[in-house]
Chains A and B, each alone.
Chain A
Amino acid sequence: MSYTKLSALDIAQKVQAGELKALDMLEASLAQIQAVDGDFGQLDGQVTDPNTDKKVHAFISLTKDLALAQAEAVDAKVQKGEDAGLLAGVPVSIKDIFALDGTVTTAASRMLHNYRAPYTATAVQKLIDAGALIVGKVNLDEFTFGSSNESSAYQPASNNPWNTAHVPGGSSGGSAAAVAAEETPLSLGTDTGGSIRQPAAFCGVVGLKPSYGRISRYGLIAFASSLDCPGPLARNVPDAALMLQVMAGSDQRDENTSILPVPNYLEAIQQDVKGLRIGLSPDYAGIAYPNPETGAFEVIPVQREVNQAVLDAAECLAKLGAEIVEDVPMPHTRYGIPVYFVVSRIEAASNLNRMDGVKYGFSVVDPKDLQDLYRRTRSEGFGMQPKLRILMGAYLSASSKNLNYYQLASQVRAMVRKDFDLAFDATGAHRLDALLTPTTPTSAFKRAELFGDSVLMQYADQMTVSVNHAGLPAVTVPAGLDDAGLPIGIQLIGNDFREDTILRVANAYEQATSDAAWRKIRPMALQEVK
């Protein structure tokens, strides 16, 4: 059996037991990458592979030397009988939005094409300290702006391993693709409006957005400071729990991290779901989209197979002893996108102000003067998606308005949160332990299908974005394939810092469906490999 089929838990166990050398595990991972990934995403990338359309293109760069040194260190520790860490010898890919000292972090943008961070992100350092092998940086939408990976300045951008004519989703498209294509069992992604969960659902893998502040953002190049969450992508729930375990906790460098204790997730997920109250909401049955002419909200129902998957999951969980609570109202879900437009754009525009060609990154040659340096650097360094977000953010935060948009959006955001407060209130009408919803309204769309229509693309995130506004944890797990053979994900949303509960439910579901026929089907990209 190829080592690349092993779960992260198994790898760590075998490595620690001396049954598997970290170096061999690394080799296997690199071989898999070689076999399925094809050309890595490059700035002004030249595509040489005639089979490129069949390849995954998850990666932008490898960090082979780093991984080798890490593998050697792990093997040495094991030799000496020392504890080599919870993730001993486990290959991990990193969304190229995290600072990692000694490597280039591009953010999939020309603006940072040569940026070498002089420090390492806390989340990444924790992985390293736990014995993980950092194999390389995976592709993403430029600066994490997008839901398809298509906006990356590093082409070819990632494809969906299940059907390479389709997008892997975004912005953590490279992460989801790398995991789905068995290139690395784990990947570190980020979720601001659904950027872990949506690609995880599209690529048929597990993706967890932790509570805001559960994992440190120090070293994560910021999109929306009050929404961004680093999180794990994995092929099964226990692996996601393991990776969360390593990264969770407070960080003195990040004021927003919580000092609440970190539970033992691996233990927690073993518990059954008897008596747990799992809610279903009619407000998650479709996307509420404002008609551009009338302004009235129209509901576009989710794809039939997606809806069915949620119902089937509810039935499955009911059989396991959970109590399904129907008709949980979440009336402010529809405002999640407008709030997102305001909050995320204002914060993003602000966070990207620092890219000015002076201190690091791309800089135009022979600027006429300071203004010329700024304008041409920013115009040539940023792609369309960053430009769009920056302009929107600048417009909305300009003081020439009579209105403070940020404040208004923050107020509505509190109302979005309140829906969840009422749903989870232990003394309330519903008393939920988790809310079960579709992760995305549809399965993965085709390349170029939505790209360019920023509003429609954004509205597809309606199922995930409210969770970010509320700061809550949510996990997506594979729940089958649609009629076209593309993965479908279901989402479990939990209460503040109750990752243990949602992972527990997710694990129970995963265990109960372990024999499902759809789990035996392999992604297209893997069928090419022997």
Chain B
Amino acid sequence: MKDYEIIIGLETHIQLNTETKIFCNCKADSWEAEPNTNICPVCTGQPGVLPRLNEEAVRKGALLAAAMNAEINPRSLFDRKHYFYPDLPKSFQITQLFEPIGKGGYLDLHMADGETRRVRINKMHLEEDAGKTKLEHGQRMVDLNRGGVPLVEMVTEPDLRSGEEAAQYLTQLRELLRWIGVSEADMERGHLRCDANVSIREKGSSVLNTKTEIKNVNSIDSVRQAITLEAKRQIELVEAGGVVEPYTLDWDADAGKLSMMRSKEAEADYRYFREPDLRPVVLSEAEIAEIKASLPELPYVRRQRFVDDYQLSAYDAEILTSERGLSDYFEEAVALYGKDPKTISNWMMNDLIRLMNDTGKTARELVLQPQALAEIVRLLDDGKINAATGKSLLVKVEESGKSPAVIVEEEGLGLIADADSLRTQIEVILSGAPGEVAAFRGGKESLMGWFVGQVMRSTGGKADPKLTREILAELLKA
């Protein structure tokens, strides 16, 4: 059995999260809408209508190009791509073939084993989405709500080498899209769609062999599974003396199976030519500079910086940068706290994230913001409250909106740190437990825990533990 290499290229369609469609003022997001209600003469291709380009689609497209290390094209053009299908109202799609918004670019894939694979981008351009069709009771129906939504089509070079890498790529891409705010990238809602091109070759060869195209692999798992399965099929086929045909395959996620959709016929003739109804998309040097400057620190860079600057573990850094708002929150909290960042990270990893899950909010949506978190931790540090109180304060702040200090005051949650009053209380307790006192003095040192427990019970948990032990030790000395 020869040693084979799997060659994969991914084609993704990314739905931009602009307010409106790319060429008309209908909504870009109509997931909740009744069919054929989010439409207008322009996006339904009525005779006589004209497209009008959305500036946000341009900006987000350019921002994505910058995030992908691509060159932002200062003068991009639109073209018409012709074919007939019921979900394409004009029977041509307005896309960018000759002069796209982004040129070149790459995504550095950071693998689990520490390796980096550079996945180069072959093309990146703006285009309009088609509507949807569905088959119901044997009748095909067309819904044009989605027609005209802005998309960025991004195609990689065949640089990926396994289903796992492909899954990684999609995961990183999805994270990036959300991070820079150009797409919600929810694969279940079709914000990020993927087709995979798969071929094999003997290790050491540099030839590109016939590839198959797997369409509509629309979850990270599907990508991994489908590609792995297809690669296996191709290898088995070739090993058995067969030849890989350039089929287009459909992935059935439920059955975990690939089936042939159609044999890839001669490329359809799309009759591309420049879209005469749209002007060139011109971005000045200043505008391009502004877009580049607006790019935030990207996830991987930030992750690395958290490890370097804050001495976080890779795992912790990963969790804290899983969402941009969360990572911003962390940094703010650390700055406000002023002491060991790991303390903040522990609090966030355990308690804050739980709070987020319980309330269903993102870090930035919480009432409890970095200021309050830092305050709680400092209260604990200063011995003003105990750990249990600290944890409960998270919820109390979230629900009341009041600052931690105010809540501690109002609800009397502060630790009893007044040595005199505590001493008095402890003396009362000891006087009520002469037997245990004698036993302790007689050598049963383990009873210290019991005494501490008694003090905690009588003070409702608010006695400062350290001070309690000190006083007890003192008083219990014979």
Question: Contact partner of B90 among A98, A118, A354, CB < 8 A?
Answer: A354
Q: Does B272 lie within 8 Å of A399, measured CB to CB? A: yes
CB neighbours (8 Å) of A119 from chain B are: 41, 46, 49
Question: Contact partner of A354 among B47, B50, B142, B277, CB < 8 A?
Answer: B47
In the bound complex, how far is the Cα of B273 from the Cα of A241, in angstroms? 36
Is the C-beta of A457 less than 8 angstroms from some C-beta in chain B?
no
The segment from A219-227, A232-240, A313-321, A518-526 that touches chain B is: A219-227
Is the C-beta of B161 less than 8 angstroms from some C-beta in chain A?
no
Q: Does B50 lie within 8 Å of A218, measured CB to CB? A: yes
Q: Is the interface of A mostly helix, strand, loop or mixed?
A: loop
CB 8 Å contact bits of A335-348 with B (1 = contact, 0 = none): 00000000000110
The segment from B79-87, B378-386, B432-440 that touches chain A is: B79-87
Closest chain B CB from A213 CB (angstroms): 10
In the bound complex, how far is the Cα of B141 from the Cα of A358, in angstroms? 11
CB 8 Å contact bits of B265-289 with A (1 = contact, 0 = none): 0000111111011110000000000
Is the C-beta of B69 less than 8 angstroms from some C-beta in chain A?
no
In the bound complex, how far is the Cα of B46 from the Cα of A118, in angstroms? 9
Question: Contact partner of B269 among A253, A359, A398, CB < 8 A?
Answer: A398
Question: Contact partner of B89 among A225, A354, A399, CB < 8 A?
Answer: A354
Known interface pairs A222-B48, A358-B86, A359-B44; A400-B269 also in contact (CB < 8 Å): yes
Is the C-beta of B53 less than 8 angstroms from some C-beta in chain A?
yes
Is the C-beta of B361 less than 8 angstroms from some C-beta in chain A?
no
Q: Identify the interface centre among B41, B44, B51, B276: most chain A CB within 10 Å of its CB.
A: B276
Residues of B in contact, count (CB < 8 Å): 30
In the bound complex, how far is the Cα of B269 from the Cα of A219, in angstroms? 29
Nearest chain A residue, comparing its CB with the CB of B53: A255
Q: Does B273 lie within 8 Å of A358, measured CB to CB? A: no
Is the C-beta of A30 less than 8 angstroms from some C-beta in chain B?
no
Q: Does A221 lie within 8 Å of B50, measured CB to CB? A: no
CB 8 Å contact bits of B69-107 with A (1 = contact, 0 = none): 000000000001010101001111000000000000000
Q: Does A218 lie within 8 Å of B49, measured CB to CB? A: yes
Q: Does B276 lie within 8 Å of A360, measured CB to CB? A: no
Q: Does B276 lie within 8 Å of A226, measured CB to CB? A: yes
Would you list which residues of chain B between 236 and 293 have a CB under 8 Å from chain A?
269-274, 276-279
Q: Does B279 lie within 8 Å of A98, measured CB to CB? A: no
Is the C-beta of A165 less than 8 angstroms from some C-beta in chain B?
no
Is the C-beta of A302 less than 8 angstroms from some C-beta in chain B?
no
CB neighbours (8 Å) of A107 from chain B are: 47
Is the C-beta of A326 less than 8 angstroms from some C-beta in chain B?
no
Q: Does B50 lie within 8 Å of A255, measured CB to CB? A: yes
In the bound complex, how far is the Cα of B280 from the Cα of A255, in angstroms? 10
Would you list which residues of chain B between 33 and 69 have a CB under 8 Å from chain A?
41, 44-53
CB neighbours (8 Å) of B80 from chain A are: 350
CB neighbours (8 Å) of A112 from chain B are: 47
Q: Does B48 lie within 8 Å of A221, measured CB to CB? A: yes
Closest chain A CB from B310 CB (angstroms): 50
Nearest chain A residue, comparing its CB with the CB of B42: A253
Is the C-beta of A121 less than 8 angstroms from some C-beta in chain B?
yes
Known interface pairs A350-B82, A353-B84, A356-B91; A117-B48 also in contact (CB < 8 Å): yes
Q: Does A99 lie within 8 Å of B277, measured CB to CB? A: no
Is the C-beta of A451 less than 8 angstroms from some C-beta in chain B?
no
CB neighbours (8 Å) of B142 from chain A are: 358
Closest chain B CB from A102 CB (angstroms): 14
CB neighbours (8 Å) of B49 from chain A are: 119, 218-219
Question: Contact partner of B45 among A105, A218, A354, A404, CB < 8 A?
Answer: A354
Q: Does B82 lie within 8 Å of A353, measured CB to CB? A: yes
CB neighbours (8 Å) of B279 from chain A are: 255-256
4 tightest Cβ-Cβ pairs between the two chains A and B = A353-B91, A225-B276, A397-B271, A226-B276
Contacts A397-B271, A398-B271 supplied; 5 other A-B pairs, CB < 8 Å: A98-B48, A218-B48, A256-B279, A354-B92, A356-B84
B-to-A contact residues, CB < 8 Å: 41, 44-53, 80, 82, 84, 86, 89-92, 142, 269-274, 276-279
